[in-house]
Structure 1
Amino acid sequence: MERFVWKARLLPGKREEYIRRHDEIWPEMTELLNKAGIHNYTIWRAGDELIGYYEAEKGIAFASSTQAESPLVDKWNEYMKDVMVMEKDPATGTHYALEQVFYHK
């Protein structure tokens, strides 16, 4: 199991809408996350900054490629682009990975 963390930024005045969309997450999106081996997916907010964390039971490479190859993820990203900004790594087509500098088990 590998862990992954990403960050993004909420657009001004979009906090409630961002939360509403996640409260009403599409069932097919949760199915895709499960297929990708993504579990314990959590998103935190600090001001307008978003920090996401998940555990990838099949590894980050599998989770990333499963998401990058999915038209559903493209549809979700299009749906979310009016409430948030997330830079993507052109090499992988997914979120930039944050560097882990400390871990306590």
Structure 2
Amino acid sequence: MQRLAFKMKLNEGQKEAYKERHDQLWPELKKLLKDSGVSEYSIFFDEETSTLFAFQKVSGEGGSQDLADNPIVKKWWDFMADIMKVNPDNSPVSISLEEVFFME
């Protein structure tokens, strides 16, 4: 099991919209993530910087960030593009974070 973390940037004033959309996560996207080995996925929000911090546990080699070619993921990106910083293909601007400490 690997632990992955990354950060993304939310547009100002979009915290509630982001939370609402994730509270209604599409069942097909949730299934895709679980089928891809994502067993835990948390996203935290830093009010001061509008930064989203994501953490996930993944079995296998990749995490949610490796599903870019999936049509469900592309549709989700398009759905989220108006409230967060995105790349030209509407994927979230995402910066991987290196784990420097872990306590079991």
The TM-score bracket by the shorter chain reads 0.7 to 0.9
User: Where do 5+ consecutive residues of structure 2 fail to align?
Assistant: 88-92
CA distance, structure 1, for counterparts of residue 39 and residue 68 of structure 2? 17
Equivalences for residues 69-84 of structure 1 within 5 A: 69-84=69-84
Taking the aligned partners of 1:5 and 1:71, their CA distance within structure 2 comes to: 23
1:23 aligns to what? 23
| Same amino acid, percent of matched pairs | 32
Letter in 2 for 1:44: F
Distance 1:45 1:63, change over 3 A: closer
Give the 5 Å matches for 1:1-105: 1-47=1-47, 48-60=50-62, 64-65=65-66, 67-86=67-86, 95-105=94-104
Distance 1:102 1:76, change over 3 A: same
RMSD between superposed Cα atoms in Å: 2.1
Q: Which has the higher helix share?
A: 1
Aligned length: 98
Structure 1: runs of 5+ lacking an equivalent? 88-93
What is the identity, as a one-letter code, of the residue corresponding to 1:51? F
Q: State how far apart, in whole Å, the 2-side matches of 1:54 and 1:39 are.
A: 7
Helix, strand or coil for the counterpart of 2:78? Answer: helix
